[in-house]
Amino acid sequence: MSIHTSMLGQVIEQLIWAFFTCCIFLSGFSHADDQAPKYTFVRETTSAPPILYYNYIMIGGGTCGCPLAATLSQGARVLVLERGSSPYTNPEKINIKNFLNSLFDPSPSSFAQQFISNDGVLNARARVLGDGSVLNAGFYSRAGSRYIRDSGWNETLARNSYEWVENKVVFEPLIMQWQIAVKDGLLEVGVLPYNDFSLDQLYGTKVGGTIFDKDGQRHIAADLLEYVDPKRIFVYLYATVQKIVFKDSSIGITNFGSTIETGSGLSLGHSWSQRLQESFKSVSN
């Protein structure tokens, strides 16, 4: 009985993912001969010198880490330590036709790390430069203007930031039969008005953005590293950070793969957020 239950659970899970994929994207994409961006500043950890000095150290080159590193590199020296590999070595793996294969790939070189949550749910998290954007369903939408106001964000800066991201990685999806059926169903039950395609948060029904282009190729957070100042950034792959040691003076890193030593006081949270704010100020000015 329990075997049946767990098999049923797996089948349901597969169906949910299939549903999720179909819901947002289109089938029948053909593979494009993608020119994978090759960054000279992305290297394997084994090539790193024993000691490095940076203004900022980003642990994890994920969906947040990549754009943040790109922004900070405009005014400071930045080091990104990513435990995973590069998504650019095999563009085929980040095409929509391999969405489920990549998500459920159990091999050691997989972009996905399977895990079971504390409450027993089978799940996957990314371990690759670009992180979740390399594995996720790719739906994109801006935050609502009320949320932006309530959060105290600068509305102009928020709008410029969205455009900064959208210029590189966001597309209008093609709408085919299945999506039309869902849309018509929503309108029929009164989820109105119909807003057509929009990246804004709106009441009613709309078609949102996608990070898959018309050829089904995924555009990922690591693409935002195209914005970096290449003289001020280094990205190391297979760099799993296990420990951060605080020292009283300059920021340094030793012994990759096991320890990070950093400095400027014991309160990393305080100095970190202060430095971030200063850097954002100087970058946005």
Ligand X SMILES: Cc1cc2nc3c(=O)[nH]c(=O)nc-3n(C[C@H](O)[C@H](O)[C@H](O)COP(=O)(O)OP(=O)(O)OC[C@H]3O[C@@H](n4cnc5c(N)ncnc54)[C@H](O)[C@@H]3O)c2cc1C
Q: Which of residues 193-232 bind ligand X (CB under 6 A)?
A: none
- Tell whether residue 73 is a contact of ligand X (CB under 6 A): no
Which range in 28-36, 86-94, 151-159, 235-243 contacts ligand X by CB under 6 A?
A: 235-243
One of 59, 143, 186, 202 touching ligand X (CB under 6 A): 59
- Tell whether residue 241 is a contact of ligand X (CB under 6 A): yes
User: Strand, helix or coil at 99?
Assistant: helix
- Tell whether residue 62 is a contact of ligand X (CB under 6 A): yes
- State the minimum distance, in angstroms, from the CB of residue 17 to ligand X: 7
One of 26, 42, 65, 212 touching ligand X (CB under 6 A): 65
CB-wise, 110 or 133, nearer to ligand X?
A: 133
- Tell whether residue 173 is a contact of ligand X (CB under 6 A): no
CB-wise, 193 or 200, nearer to ligand X?
A: 200
- Tell whether residue 158 is a contact of ligand X (CB under 6 A): no
Quick one: the chain helix, strand, coil %, rounded to 5? 40, 20, 45
One of 56, 57, 63, 225 touching ligand X (CB under 6 A): 63
- b vs e for 103-130, b when ≥16 Cβ sit within 10 Å of the residue's Cβ? bebeeeebbbeeeeeeeeeeebebbbbb
Q: Which two tokens stand for residue 88?
A: 């650019």
One of 70, 82, 99, 233 touching ligand X (CB under 6 A): 82
Q: What single DSSP character describes residue 144?
A: P
- Tell whether residue 240 is a contact of ligand X (CB under 6 A): yes
Question: Taking CA 51 as the corner, what is the angle to CA 46 and CA 57, rounded to the nearest 5 degrees?
Answer: 85
- Tell whether residue 126 is a contact of ligand X (CB under 6 A): yes
- Tell whether residue 179 is a contact of ligand X (CB under 6 A): no
CB-wise, 84 or 173, nearer to ligand X?
A: 84
CB 80 within 8 A of CB 55: no
One of 72, 81, 165, 220 touching ligand X (CB under 6 A): 81
Which helix H or strand E contains 69, and what residues bound it? helix 65-72
- Tell whether residue 96 is a contact of ligand X (CB under 6 A): no
Q: What single DSSP character describes residue 52?
A: B
Q: Say how far apart CA 225 and CA 209 lie, in whole Å.
A: 21
The interaxial angle of helices 2-24 and 177-188, nearest 10 deg, is 90
The interaxial angle of helices 268-284 and 65-72, nearest 10 deg, is 60
- Contact positions toward ligand X, by CB under 6 A? 59-65, 81-84, 103, 124-127, 131-133, 135-139, 239-241
